[in-house]
Each structure stands twice: as C-alpha cells, then as structure tokens.
Amino acid sequence: IHHVENMSLVIPIWSSDTRLDGKTAIVTGGNSGIGKETARDLAGRGARVILACRDTTKGEQVACDIMKEVKGAKVVTKQLDLADTKSICQFAENIYNTEKTLHYLINNAAVAMCPYARTVDGYEMQFGVNHLGHFFLTFLLLDLLKHSAPSRVINLASSAHVFGKIQFDDLKGEKKYHPVRAYAQSKLANILFTRELAKRTEVLGVMAYSVDPGLVNTDIFRHVWRPLVDMIKTFGFVVRTPAEGAYTTIYCTVTPENQLITGGYYSNCSRAESSRAGQDDGTALKLWAVSCHLLGIRWR
C-alpha cells in the first residue's frame, strides 16, 4: 500500500493483481458510486459479478458499460429492493436458482440522511435498508456462502458511525428522528453486525469485514443540503473519487484471509479502530437478537 499524504489526510493508493477467476460476487447498489467501481474492479479480475439493484435499468446500463470497458467481463443485473423483505426473498430465491456458488457478498447499498420515511415493512428507512435489509439478505444467502467457503461478507460502514447509538427503544424513529443520527446509527449497526456475524461464521469458513470507504464524491449526499455538499466538494483534496472509495472494499475482498481479521473494521486499506460503541459485543448481541425478532427469523 502506498499512501499519498495530504495535510493530515491519508489517501491510500493501493493495487493488487490478484485474479478472481471462477469466483462469484454480489454487489448491492452496484449501479452507482463505490458499488459500481467495486463491480468494475472485480469484473476486471475475472469474477462473475451480480449487480443487485433496485432499478434494473440503471443496473443494466452499468453492466453494459463495464462489459464494453473490460474485455471478457461477466456482469449481470438482478432486482433487489432492500426496503422490501419480499423483494429480498425473491432476489435470494433467484440467486439459489441461478448460482452454484457465492464467494463475496458485498453489502454496499445505502440510503443516507433522508427525510423520515419507512420501508415497505414499516421500519425507519435508513435502519431498514442499510442494516435490516442487508442482515436479512446475508441470512438468506448464508447457505450458499457456507457451501462456497472460503467466502466473505463485506459490509460498507462509515466513519460517521462514531456519532451513532443504537436506539433500541425507538428503532422505528417514531419518538425522535434526525436524518444524520439515523444514518450514523445504521452505520454503527453495520459494524456491530459484522462483529457478531464473524463470531458465528468463522468456523464455517465465512469471514466478515466492515469497511469505511472515506469521504467519496458520489450520489450518497443527495438528501443533504446542497450548499453544504458543494462546500465539502470545494475541498476537493479531501474527497475521494468513487474508484478511490472502492479501494478498501477491494482490499478486503482480495487480501489473503490470514492477513485480515474477521469481524474487523477496515479503513484506508488497513485495519482500523471503530468507536467504543462499535466494539461493544453486548450491544452487537442485542442488535442481533432484535434484528431477528423484527424480521421474524431464527438465526442462532
């Protein structure tokens, strides 16, 4: 890993020529931003890449672009709306019908800092999509990941998790809703989910990592006050391109397992420390139980 130092900020310039021929990866939200660049990179390494998108027209356009740019790329698009458990079930069923293996599940999609909204199933949108949707998707695809072991689940979190707290008494955000706090809560949930998942699946050969991609110039800020976004972007040197934003995800995908720590949080293509709340195993366990309860599933 080479680092470009820019004042106090360090942007890693990382590269690896590891091939992924014969491997299959799912990238949720693969039609945009970091997910799109992750998909492009993995396809270039020879992996079969499934773009799991709520808007398949956008997904198919991206699949077409990647296949034009990357010779021999194998990219397909499948419909997935993480705000709807029925859609998640249909997506998983489709995967079991079409795929013999799944080596990398990259839980990348997210909605950020949106006005109060609910998923089809009635959960607060950011907690529902970013955490519960991916939790449920991973639950449904675990058999295939186990069957394909060694395999990995990579959850896109964010340094914004440091502002997060899991509001167990108000997970639907009905008492008090703040868009930034709700985003931070969902990103903290991604880290806690990764820790607890890793404990349960390491023996099965399924490793789990959470990733902070850094501050990246994507559509994620679509709900944020425009002048603030423009102000952040004028400090261009601190904002990464989507391709740079994908580095740590790709790092966690291709780095040999013995050089990574399952359950760990990664940033700038290396191991990082999450907040204390992100290391709280009691909260992680409680979140696991509550998530199972909300989704009506048994996942021991």
Ligand X SMILES: NC(=O)c1ccc[n+]([C@@H]2O[C@H](COP(=O)([O-])OP(=O)(O)OC[C@H]3O[C@@H](n4cnc5c(N)ncnc54)[C@H](OP(=O)(O)O)[C@@H]3O)[C@@H](O)[C@H]2O)c1
**By CB under 6 A, residue 156 contacts ligand X:** yes
Q: Given 123, 183, 247, 251, which residue is catalytic?
A: 183
Q: Is 7 helix (H, G, I), strand (E, B) or coil?
A: coil
**By CB under 6 A, residue 230 contacts ligand X:** no
Q: ω into residue 12 within 30 of 0, thus cis?
A: no
> Taking the complex as a whole, how short is the minimal distance between the CB of residue 213 and ligand X, in angstroms?
5
**By CB under 6 A, residue 207 contacts ligand X:** no
Among 41, 81, 124, 244, binds ligand X (CB under 6 A): 81
**By CB under 6 A, residue 31 contacts ligand X:** yes
Among 24, 26, 27, 29, binds ligand X (CB under 6 A): 29
Taking contact as CB under 6 A, which single stretch among the options 28-36, 68-76, 166-174, 223-231 is the one that binds ligand X?
28-36
Alpha-carbon distance of 283 to 278, in angstroms, equals 9
**By CB under 6 A, residue 220 contacts ligand X:** yes
Taking contact as CB under 6 A, which single stretch among the options 1-9, 52-60, 223-231, 250-258 is the one that binds ligand X?
52-60
Q: Which residue has the tokens 């699949």?
A: 63
Closest to 30 (Cα-Cα) out of 76, 96, 85: 76
Walk across the sheet containing 206-212 and list its strands: 74-79, 48-53, 24-28, 104-107, 151-156, 206-212, 265-267, 270-272
**By CB under 6 A, residue 50 contacts ligand X:** no
Taking contact as CB under 6 A, which single stretch among the options 33-41, 60-68, 138-146, 228-236 is the one that binds ligand X?
33-41
**By CB under 6 A, residue 129 contacts ligand X:** yes
Closest to 132 (Cα-Cα) out of 173, 103, 95: 173
Which residues have a Cβ under 8 Å from the Cβ of 289 and sit 6 or more positions away? none
Alpha-carbon distance of 300 to 287, in angstroms, equals 13
Which residues contact ligand X by CB under 6 A?
28-29, 31-35, 54-55, 58, 80-83, 108-112, 129, 156, 158, 213, 215-216, 218-220
Residues labelled catalytic: 183
